[in-house]
Amino acid sequence: MTDFRQKVFDVKEENMLGLLRQKVGLRGLSAPVIGDYTQRLCPVASAMRHYSSATKQMTVRDALNSALNEEMAADSSVFVMGEEVGEYQGAYKITKGLLDKYGPERVVDTPITEAGFTGIGVGAAYHGLRPVVEFMTFNFALQGIDHIINSAAKSNYMSAGQINVPIVFRGPNGAAAGVGAQHSQCFAAWYATVPGLKVLVPYSAEDARGLLKAAIRDPDPVVFLENELLYGESFPVSDEVLDSNFCLPIGKAKVERKGIDVTITAYSKMVSFALKAAEILEKEGINAEVINLRSIRPLDRDTINASVRKTNRLVTVEEGFRQHGVGAEICATVVEDSFGYLDAPVERIAGADVPTPYAANLERFAFPQIEDIVRATKRVCYKSAAANA
C-alpha cells in the first residue's frame, strides 16, 4: 500500500493545516485497495478461537493503548487525532507514548473544534487513510455529529459502494462521576439507529484490545464507545489476547457467565454490575446467564435468542435512557423471534428519564445499580415478595 505519510491533507480549514503539515492528493479506492482492506479484517474463525487460561492482568487503558500502537506499527495509513492526544499523552493517557514513537504527523493534536477535526478525519478516510478520532467525551461529539452521520455513515451507500470510509470515532461514553448532565449521557442508542455505522461497546481488556483492532481494520466507520470508569480496571488476559494478530469479530456477543434460569444482557460498565448481581442471585438459587453484547450495531441476535430459548426469561441492563433504548431493541428482537419461549414478561433496567444530576447521591439513583438488577431478576423468576403476593 502507498505510504500515506508522503501525502497531504487537502482541507479548507487553514488553522488545521499547520497541525497536519502534509497534503493528500485525490486517490480513488481501486479494487486492489479494497482487497487490501478485506485482507486486514478479522477472520470470522477468530470467533471460534479457544483461549488458554489467563495468567496476566491488563487494564482497559493499556489494552486500548497497545491496540493503537500495534495497528499504527502495522499500517502507516493509521493515525490518531484529537484534543491533547499528543503532547499531553491523551486526556486519559490512552495515547501515551505514541507521539514519541510516531511523531506529530501521525499523532495530531487538534484545537478544541470537534466539528473541524471530525470533518478532517472523514476527509482523510475518503482518501485512503485510517484515522482514529478521539473525543474527550462523546458528549462533545455532538459538535461533529453531522460529519459522523451524513459524511461518514452514508457515503458508501450514496456512492454505490465506490467510497469506503475506514474511520474510528472513539472516546468515553456515558456517566463518569460528578461531571453533570452535559458530560454524562450515553449515546449508544443514538448511533445504533444509523445504517452505515458499526457501534462497539467494550467491557473488559480483552474486549477493548480485540474490538479496537477490529474497528481500525474495518473498511466502514466505527463508533467505539468506551467508559471512563473502566479505564483503570484490570482484567485477566490470555497469551492469545496479547498476540499482535489478535482481534475480535464485530457483531458477536460473549456469554460471560453460563446459566439456565434467566438471561441478563448488558454492555460496557453494566456487564460488571450484571456479573456481580448474578453472584448474589446464585446464593438465592437463581442461575443467571450473562451476555456481554460487545457490539450493538450489528447486534448479535442469534446469541441473545439462543440464550432466551434456554432460560425462558430476559432482563436487559443499560445506562442509557429506557425509551427507544438498546434494551427496547433487544426486547423487540426476542418478542419477534422467541416469544413462544418466554415464561415471564421481559424486564428492562435503564437510566432514569432525567438529565444526569450533579449531586452524588442523586447521580447514583439516576443509573442502574446491582441491587436493581437483582430485584428485576427475582421478579422475572417469580422469586420476589411482590411476585409471590
The Cα–Cα gap between 156 and 154 comes to 6
The whole-model pTM stands at 0.85
- Residue 387 is predicted with a pLDDT of 52
- Residue 53 is predicted with a pLDDT of 54
The Cα–Cα gap between 57 and 237 comes to 6
Domains 58-242 and 254-381 share a fold: yes
Kindly report the CATH class assigned to 58-242: alpha beta
Q: Where in the chain are the domains?
A: 58-242, 254-381
How many alpha carbons fall within 13 Å on the CB side of residue 97? 11
Judge whether 172 and 138 are in contact, CB under 8 Å: yes
- Residue 89 is predicted with a pLDDT of 93
Strands 78-82 and 107-109: parallel
Task: Return the beta strands (E) in the chain as ranges.
Answer: 56-59, 78-82, 107-109, 130-134, 168-172, 198-200, 222-226, 234-237, 254-257, 262-266, 288-292, 295-297, 314-321, 347-351
CATH topology classification for 254-381: Rossmann fold (3.40.50)
Q: Which amino acid is at 55?
A: T
DSSP β-bridge partners for residue 255:
291
For the stretch 166-224, pLDDT in tens is: 999 999 999 888 888 989 999 999 999 999 999 999 999 999 999 999 999 999 999 99
pLDDT by 10s per residue, the chain, length 389: 334 333 333 333 333 433 333 333 333 344 333 344 444 445 433 444 444 454 799 999 999 999 999 999 999 999 999 999 999 999 999 999 999 999 999 999 999 999 999 999 999 999 999 999 999 999 999 999 999 999 999 999 999 999 999 999 999 999 888 888 989 999 999 999 999 999 999 999 999 999 999 999 999 999 999 999 999 999 999 999 999 999 999 999 999 999 999 999 999 999 999 999 999 999 999 999 999 999 999 999 999 999 999 999 999 999 999 999 999 999 999 999 999 999 999 999 999 999 999 999 999 999 999 999 999 999 999 987 655 54
Judge whether 294 and 252 are in contact, CB under 8 Å: yes
- Residue 340 is predicted with a pLDDT of 97
- Residue 232 is predicted with a pLDDT of 96
The Cα–Cα gap between 132 and 222 comes to 10
Judge whether 379 and 346 are in contact, CB under 8 Å: no
> Is 183 one of the catalytic residues?
yes
Judge whether 254 and 198 are in contact, CB under 8 Å: no
Say how many residues make up the chain: 389
> Is 114 one of the catalytic residues?
yes
Provide φ and ψ at 47, rounded to 5°: -65, -25
- Residue 33 is predicted with a pLDDT of 39
Our measurement of the distance from residue 14's CA atom to the centroid of its chain's CA atoms, rounded to an integer in Å, reads 32
Q: Which of 70, 127, 134, 183 is catalytic?
A: 183
Q: Which of 114, 206, 228, 256 is catalytic?
A: 114
How many alpha carbons fall within 13 Å on the CB side of residue 185? 16
Q: Grid coordinates representing 72?
A: 499504527
For the stretch 38-60, pLDDT in tens is: 444 454 334 444 444 547 999 99
- Residue 13 is predicted with a pLDDT of 36
Judge whether 188 and 139 are in contact, CB under 8 Å: no
